[in-house]
Amino acid sequence: MGISGSGKSSLIKSLLGLIDFSGEVFFKGKNIKLLKGRYLSQAGYCTQQNSFYENLTVEENLNYFSLFYNIPSKTIKKNLSEIINLTNLQALFKI
């Protein structure tokens, strides 16, 4: 962790291949520039501010953000159902 402007976001973006940088960084023995964002779909990000849309339901928010990962809609429905059951949030899901 670091103060605002210390480069945390830039480091993550560089590691994920979202921005270019000088020098070399290796991950699992491979130059990350050659991986071309291969691990991007496995990365997550948590902001300091609320990262959901208040005008959407819980279900709609989860559906929306699932689209960024090119997950088939059938898989999204299955995963959302599992999440609801695991978290016991059935009553809040449509709110």
Total domain count, the chain: 2
Same domain for 41 and 56: no
Which of 45, 64, 80 delimits the end of a domain? 45
Domain extent, residue 41, equals 1-45
Amino acid at 22: S
Torsion, CA 13, CA 19, CA 23, CA 28, rounded to 10: 50
Query: pLDDT at residue 9 above 80?
Result: yes
Same domain for 60 and 28: no
Distances 49 to 3, 6, 9, 18, 23 between C-alpha atoms, Å: 16, 18, 15, 22, 32
What pLDDT does 95 receive? Answer: 63
Same domain for 76 and 92: yes
Q: How many Cβ atoms sit within 10 Å of the Cβ of residue 32? A: 19
Tell me the pLDDT tens digit for each residue of 39-88: 777 777 777 777 788 899 888 888 888 887 778 889 988 988 898 889 88
User: How much is the pTM?
Assistant: 0.51
CB 61 within 8 A of CB 53: yes
